[in-house]
């Protein structure tokens, strides 16, 4: 099903890209945009994960450099029925994380250092489980490719806004139509991203509760992440807003409400759904008693997960 959604998404984004090309250069511009979009789609399928990781200067870690975090991820991946993903750290004070990769065999999980500083071991497990759920559901391909194409549409629209007033308009839209297209095309791409992200976040939250056996770990973690993301801006995310929908909580400033222009569901709504899941699992809605040190603290690898 996700492969069909990916194909539909790519077709829609390609069509939008072609419309922008038509607004800039008429039929010739539309043809050039189609050729460029086809090549970009192919490139994005194979390389979009590397591009996003490079945008955030994500550094790979392994069993030696981050033993506890690595073993926690490996155990959760086993519980989820997934191969061990590549693991990355991003030097960013904002607490956040995302997953990327075209399939489970080529997936990666990236965690901000700010997240590791404020979450307990159990809460980190909940976040990692959420990202593994995205991998298992194959959300990572559609979310990463969407980020790449949406960014390209925005850049092309900005380029058109710069030069549209300095040339004759022979594209069929006219000057006003071109300006409107330059404004509406990035908005359309953004809405597509939001629709995808918001529906998939609830599914990933629920799967994370199943993987860890305690939805409360992610619930308390989400509360801390949402507060941290509002208080601590991420310069990298602000420079790459097309990737915002990939993160577990919205990394951009000023987007708290669960409305058309938020890339994520309202954190309170997500936490409420996790509380309900915890009650249905017989876990109880009381917050867990987290350990004080995160899984990255200390030099001794912990072979067993926080679930004991």
| pLDDT confidence band for 18 (50 / 70 / 90) | confident
Residue 104 clears pLDDT 90, i.e. is over it: yes
Q: Which residue has the higher pLDDT, 170 or 251?
A: 251
Residue 184 pLDDT level (bands cut at 50, 70, 90): low
Please report how many Cα atoms fall inside a 13 Å half-sphere around the Cα of residue 152, on the Cβ side: 25
Pairwise CA distance, residues 25 & 190, whole Å: 23
pLDDT at 300 (0 to 100): 35
The pTM (predicted TM-score) of the whole model is: 0.76
Cα–Cα distance list, 276 to 198, 217, 225, 236, 270 (Å): 19, 13, 20, 35, 10
Mean pLDDT of 39-51: 77
Asked if the model's pLDDT at residue 304 lies above 50, the reply is no
How far is C-alpha 241 from the chain's CA centre?
11
Q: Which of 75, 122, 131, 201 is catalytic?
A: 131
Out of 30-39, 98-107, 280-289, give the one with best mean pLDDT.
Answer: 98-107
**Per-residue model confidence as pLDDT tens digits over 153-174:** 766 666 665 555 555 555 555 5
- Cα separations (Å) of 87 from 51, 97, 138, 145? 15, 11, 17, 20
- Alpha-carbon distance of 178 to 253, in angstroms, equals 29
Task: Check residue 264 and give its pLDDT.
Answer: 82
Domain layout of the chain by residue ranges: 2-280
Q: Which residue did the predictor score with more confidence, 136 or 197? A: 136
Give the containing element (helix H, strand E) for 201: helix 174-212
297 falls in which pLDDT band (50, 70, 90)? very low
Tell me which of 17 and 88 has the higher pLDDT.
88
Q: What is the CA radius of gyration of the chain?
A: 21
The pLDDT of residue 33: 75
CA-nearest of 258, 273, 269, 135 to 209 is 273
Mean pLDDT value of segment 56-74: 96
Residue 294 has a pLDDT of: 52
Contact call for residues 45 and 177 (beta carbons, < 8 A): no
Q: What is the dihedral of CA 303, 306, 307, 308, to 10 degrees?
A: 50
Helix (H) or strand (E) holding 108: strand 108-112
* Mean pLDDT (whole number) for 109-131: 97
Instruction: Report which of residues 29 and 60 the model is more confident about.
Output: 60
- Output the average pLDDT for the chain: 79
Taking only the tens place, the pLDDT of each residue in 173-182 is 556 665 666 6
Q: Which token pair is 203?
A: 């599914």
CA atoms 278, 282, 284, 288: torsion sign: negative
Q: Give the pLDDT confidence score for residue 14 in this predicted structure.
A: 72
Looking at residue 303, its pLDDT comes to 39
**147: Cβ–Cβ under 8 A, 6 or more apart, which residues?**
48, 52, 193, 240, 242, 243, 245, 246
Q: In what order do the strands lie in the sheet with 108-112?
A: 59-61, 86-90, 108-112, 97-100
pLDDT band at 221 (very low <50, low <70, confident <90, very high): very high
Could you confirm whether 131 is annotated as catalytic?
yes
More confident residue, 174 or 260: 174
Antiparallel, parallel or unpaired: β 86-90 and 108-112: parallel
């Amino acid at each position: 099903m996700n492969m069909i959604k990916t194909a539909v998404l790519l077709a829609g984004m390609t069509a939008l890209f072609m419309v922008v090309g038509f607004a800039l250069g008429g039929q010739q511009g539309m043809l050039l945009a189609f050729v460029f979009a086809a090549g970009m789609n192919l490139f994005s399928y194979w390389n979009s994960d590397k591009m996003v990781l490079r945008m955030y200067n994500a550094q790979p870690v392994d069993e030696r450099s981050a033993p506890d975090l690595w073993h926690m991820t490996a155990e959760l991946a086993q519980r989820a029925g997934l191969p061990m993903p590549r693991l990355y750290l991003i030097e960013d004070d904002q607490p956040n994380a995302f997953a990327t990769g075209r399939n489970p065999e080529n997936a990666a999980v990236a965690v901000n250092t700010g997240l590791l500083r404020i979450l307990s071991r159990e809460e980190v497990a909940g976040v990692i489980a959420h990202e593994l759920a995205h991998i298992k559901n194959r959300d990572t391909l559609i979310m990463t490719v969407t980020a790449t194409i949406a960014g390209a549409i925005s850049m092309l629209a900005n380029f058109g806004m710069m030069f549209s007033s300095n040339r004759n308009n022979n594209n069929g839209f006219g000057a006003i139509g071109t300006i409107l297209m330059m404004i509406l095309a990035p908005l359309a791409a953004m809405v597509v991203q939001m629709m995808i992200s918001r529906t998939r976040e609830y599914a990933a939250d629920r799967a994370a509760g199943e993987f860890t056996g305690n939805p409360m770990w992610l619930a308390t973690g989400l509360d801390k992440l949402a507060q941290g993301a509002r208080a601590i801006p991420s310069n990298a995310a602000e420079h790459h807003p097309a990737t915002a929908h990939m993160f577990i909580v919205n990394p951009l400033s000023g987007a708290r409400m669960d409305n058309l222009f938020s890339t994520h569901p309202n954190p309170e709504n997500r936490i409420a759904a996790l509380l309900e899941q915890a009650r249905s699992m017989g876990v109880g809605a009381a917050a867990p008693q987290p350990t004080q040190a995160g899984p990255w603290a200390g030099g001794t690898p912990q072979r067993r997960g926080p679930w004991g």
